[in-house]
Amino acid sequence: MTTATYRTRAPAKLNIRLKVIGRRPDGYHELVSVMVPVGLFDILELDALRNNRIEIACEGFQVPDNEDNLIYRAAASFFSQTGIDKGVSLRLKKNIPVAAGLGGGSSDAAATLLSLNKIHSNPLSMSDLHDLAVKLGADVPFFLYCRPSLARGIGEILEPLKDWPIYWYVIVTPPIRVSTSWVYGDLKLELTTGEYDYILSTLKSDPFTVSHVLENDLEQVTSASFPIIDTLKKLLMDVGAEGAIMSGSGPSVFGLFSSFDQAISAKKALISQDLGDVFIAKGWEKQAHSS
Task: Clarify whether 13 is annotated catalytic.
Answer: yes
Any contact of residue 148 with ligand ATP (CB under 6 A)?
no
- Cβ closer to ligand ATP: 152 or 239? 152
Closer residue to ligand ATP (CB): 182 or 208: 182
Choose the binding region for ligand ATP from 93-101, 120-128, 152-160, 200-208 (rule: CB under 6 A). 93-101
Helix (H, G, I), strand (E, B) or coil at 97: coil
The residue within the footprint of ligand ATP, chosen from 37, 101, 141, 283 (CB under 6 A), is 101
What b/e readout covers 12-41, taking b as 16+ CB neighbours within 10 angstroms? bbbbbbbbbbeeeeeeebbbbbbbbbbbbb
Query: How many other C-beta atoms are found inside a 10 Å radius of the C-beta of residue 150?
Result: 20
- Contact string 231-250 vs ligand ATP (x = CB under 6 A): -----------------xx-
Whether residue 75 contacts residue 111, with contact meaning beta carbons closer than 8 Å, is answered with: no
Of 42, 94, 108, 139, the active-site residue reads: 139
Residue 105 engages ligand ATP in binding (rule: CB under 6 A): yes
DSSP string, 164-196: PPP-EEEEEE-S----HHHHHHH-------SHH
> Judged by CB under 6 A, does residue 217 bind ligand ATP?
no
Of the candidates 254, 284, 276, the residue with the CA atom closest to the CA atom of residue 266: 254
- Return d(Cα 118, Cα 112) in angstroms, integer: 10
* 107-119 per-residue burial string, b: 16 or more CB within 10 A, e: under 16: bbbbbbbbbbbeb
Q: Which is nearer to ligand ATP, 243 or 250 (CB)?
A: 250
State yes or no: residue 98 binds ligand ATP (CB under 6 A).
yes
Helix axes 104-119, 70-82, angle to 10 degrees: 30
102 touches ligand ATP by CB under 6 A: yes
- Of the pair 43, 269, the CB lying nearest ligand ATP is at 43
Site membership for ligand ATP, residue 37 (CB under 6 A): no
Choices 48-56, 94-102, 121-129, 234-242; region in contact with ligand ATP by CB under 6 A: 94-102
- Size of residue set near ligand ATP by CB under 6 A: 21
Decide if residue 63 touches ligand ATP (CB under 6 A): yes
Task: Let me know: does 12 contact 210? Beta carbons within 8 Å.
Answer: no
* Pick from 110, 114, 129: nearest CA to 12: 110
Q: Positive or negative CA dihedral for 48, 51, 52, 55?
A: negative
263: left (phi over 0), alpha (psi -120 to 50) or beta: alpha
Residue nearest to ligand ATP (CB): 105
Q: Which is nearer to ligand ATP, 29 or 212 (CB)?
A: 29
**Near ligand ATP by CB under 6 A: residue from 11, 37, 104, 276:** 104
Binder among 41, 75, 120, 139 for ligand ATP (CB under 6 A)? 139
Which residues are known to be catalytic? 13, 139
What does the binding site for ligand ATP look like in residue numbers (CB under 6 A)? 63-64, 68-71, 98-106, 108, 137, 139, 180, 248-249
